[in-house]
Amino acid sequence: MQLVALQMHASSIWADNRCTLASLLEQLPSARPLLVLLPENAVVFGNREAVLSHAEYLGEGPIQAQFSDWAKQHNIWLVVGSMPTHIEHQDAIHATSLVYNEQGQRVGHYHKLHLFDVDVADSQGRYRESDTFSAGEELCLIDSPFGRLGLSICYDLRFAHLYNALREQGAEILLVPAAFTQVTGQAHWQPLLQARAIENQCYVIAAGLVGEQGSRPTWGHSMIIDPWGEIKASLATGSGLVTCPLDSAHLMNIRRQMPVAEHARFSTTWRNK
C-alpha cells in the first residue's frame, strides 16, 4: 500500500488546475492500492468571486464528476483537499474535503471546522475565511483499505483537540491538505505536523499548495510522517508527488510499545452530531 501527497501551484481558474492535476496524476506510482491526497484549494485558489463561481452542491456538478472519473481511471482512493460546496437552503458555502474510492464513489466528506481569520506579516496581511465560508460542525472518519482516515483542512492543524478526537474514534491516518502561508509555514508547519503524528501515533499525510496566487504566497513542503514523527518523504518546492509505503505493522508496534491512548487521563468532549 502506498500513500501519496500531491503538491501543486493553483490558480483561480478550474480549467487550468484541472490540467495541472491531470498531468500530476499521470505520474502516480504503479502500486495499488494507492491513497492520494490533493491540497486545499486545488479546485480554485483566488478571491471570493472566483471561489463562489466554482461552488457545487454535494454530489452534483462537473468538478465532482471529474474527481470521480479520476479515481476510477487511476484505480485510486482520491481525497480532494478542499473545494467550495453550497449549503442547502442557505446563502453560504463550506470548504469541503471529498473522499472517493477506487470505484469513483464518494464515501465521505468533511466541512472545514476552523476558519483562518488572522493577520499575517506577508504581502496579503489580512486573511478572513469567514467572509466567504461557513464553518463545519462535525468530525469525519472514513474506513478504508489503508486504515481509518481522519480528515482535516489546513488551519485545523493548530487545534490539537480535533486530532485527539479523531484518534479516540480510531483514526490511523491523519489527512492535512493545506495552503499554508509562507510566513506561518516556515515557522510552524513541520513542527505542528510532527506533533500531530507523535501525540496521536498516526501517519500524517500533508499536501500543500506551493507558489503565489495574487498577493498570497504559499509554503508547499508537502510531506508524509510516520507515527513516530519521522519524515518519510517530502517535497519543499515545485509541483510533484510525495510517496511513501504504508507500514501498518509499524504503527501497531508503536501503539503497543507506548500505549499513550490507554494511559491518557483526559478525554476530548467532542460529540458527533
Catalytic residues: 40, 112, 154
- Lookup: cell for 24: 500530476
Mention every residue, 6+ apart, whose C-beta is less than 8 A from residue 263.
none
- Lookup: cell for 68: 470521480
Residue type at position 150: G
Which of 59, 67, 92, 69 minimizes the C-alpha distance to 14? 67
Report in angstroms the alpha-carbon separations of 193 from 27, 115, 144, 222, 258: 26, 18, 22, 10, 20
- Lookup: cell for 2: 502506498
Handedness of CA 82, 41, 92, 176 (dihedral sign): positive
Q: Which residues pair with 233 in a beta bridge?
A: 224
* Residue 177 DSSP one-character state: E
CB atoms closer than 10 angstroms to residue 265: 4
